[in-house]
Structure 1
Amino acid sequence: MGQSKFGGNPDLPESLSYPKSENGYDIPFLCQLNLGEFDNEITSEGILYFFVNLMIQPSMVLFFFQKIQNL
C-alpha cells in the first residue's frame, strides 16, 4: 500500500473522498506517485494522486497527501 502505480484503485487516506465529476460520476484514477521512491527536489515523502476524465467534459484532479503512514 502506498507504492507508485498506474491504474487499479488508489490508496487514498480516509480523509480524502474519491473525486466526482459535475454529473456525480467517479473521475477515473490514472496513477499515484510515491515521491519517496524518486530522487527529486520537491519533497522526500508524500503521494501525488492523478485522476483524469477525457470524456464529454474533460477534467483532471490532483491530490497531494504527505503523511503516507495514514493510508
Structure 2
Amino acid sequence: MKTLSVKVKPNAKTSELAEQEDGTWKASLKSPPVDGKANQELIKLISKSFRCPKSDVAIKSGAGSRLKRITIASE
C-alpha cells in the first residue's frame, strides 16, 4: 500500500498530477470543490497516473480540505 500527500488546486485550467521536490504531490483539477466533484476527479486522475483501478484509490484524510492523504492499495 502506498500513501501520498497531495495538495489540491481546484478550478484549474487543466487536470494534472505532478510530484514536488519534497516528495509530496500537487494536483490541479478542473472540477470545482462542490458536492465531491473535485475528489472524484482526483481519484480518477490518480488511478490513471498510477495505472490502477479507481477502487484501489482512497482518500484517507482531508476530504474537505486542500491537503489530502491518499492511499493506493495496489502499490
TM above 0.5, yes or no, is no
Relative to total residues, which structure has the larger strand share, 1 or 2? 2
RCO greater where, 1 or 2, for CA within 8 Å and sep 6 or more?
A: 2
Considering only CA atoms, is the larger Rg found in Structure 1 or Structure 2? 1
TM-score by length of 2: 0.29
